[in-house]
Chains A and B, each alone.
Chain A
């Protein structure tokens, strides 16, 4: 790795960090395809190195979102408790599945989800979604939150925490299979299924990523799969990029965050389908 490669990886990390933070994802969905398809890295090294970068990006982005007071810390901790074991179980079960078949199925699912997010009727971002508890199982673990961010914007929303925790378990499971942080699944699910305000969903998902991806990275470091030089170079860029992304999120409407995410989902889906 010479200095030209170091600079190239820093710049790439910066772009990944800025965009990933803006849409509430760690950026793994960009890093993995570039390393595997662009640079011809073995899949295991790409996934492990990507997880390292996602951890740096998530830590930096979360610091920015905490400053903005948009992280639902209480919910984030509860979701993290479900995401971590989901990731560990996923990493064991993925060995029993045919990777190619799973990738094609999951790629198709991602493209369908992203098409839905792109084409659904524009719904203005709600800062005060309904906080009334739905009847029956739909209201399982119903929790109401009131968050006032650093700019004085209030977010009132309610969500079924029981389903949220189950969802987080699934996100951890999927993320360990795909080698991505999981934000690209978590954010749209929180926004569309639970009516989370997009900005709070983005910030909280990023906070959850810090814990789940760090666990994965430590395991991968012990397995010797992380290419440390490239990972550090990309992380240095990602830390700066995440700060830029966090600041840009103020100026981008929630609807555009979801659309950006949908575009990203399409990219991942196509990548998985074509292998």
Chain B
């Protein structure tokens, strides 16, 4: 068990920067998820920890030891990928044990490790079976078992579930989280899937173009994104962004959008927008923080917390409805209660839970609140 620390880590491939001046402290026994779109550098980060990629600048520590020059085999890590190899002529036991055998571990030690891993993964009855006799989920567990028997200080997982069908992926997500609880080991997990990140991580690192955008717990990321990228990346459907201008009216501040809306900034955020009077900003609101004013039970609709929008598509999801709307020239989505009877072409009033709204700097895209 160990912490992993990045100190000013930079990785360049020629002129391409895959990691830029990254500082990160992954705590011992933490389940940390690296998430971001394709090409953001998340797999590069993982490979640098593994020692597969050399770092260009900075330091990586596993525990207290700087591992920049430590070969991968001596780093006490184990990697799990989506595309693992189970050898068809070997039974489950041998598929988990061959690495230890070839490293000359004593037989008793191998037995203990494989049996322990099999118990943790609940695959003890399968040890004599060949891979073709296993289900997809069981195979995935064997691949995990091969990593577990190495008893590493840190598990590195690179999109291990992305080859599975949707149902199995959801099941394995839960299993991996439980596994982490049982192993009590540091897990660093790479995914492009924000749902996976939100449901599994103790903390999440959001990456873009090699830069760390934010490191936080799932809820903090969701509720307090640092910038528009994080706000848009985390959450599904994604946060709505509308161009707006801050203006002051008496003691109040408003986010005004080309005559289409004029939302009052709640008192708790007033201080933060003082400097932005008459400046362009981006107004952000999550789909679930909008409501169909006609069926709103817990929001007193006023002209300062609502605006009109035209319904373009209605998508009933069972317990709720997704409304695809147009406001001025912008498109947006509202996730409203299933009671809503909004129809395509209707002009409806949308209520805004203003305490949940976000305002971003128009130029830097950083969150003002």
Q: A and B: real partners?
A: no
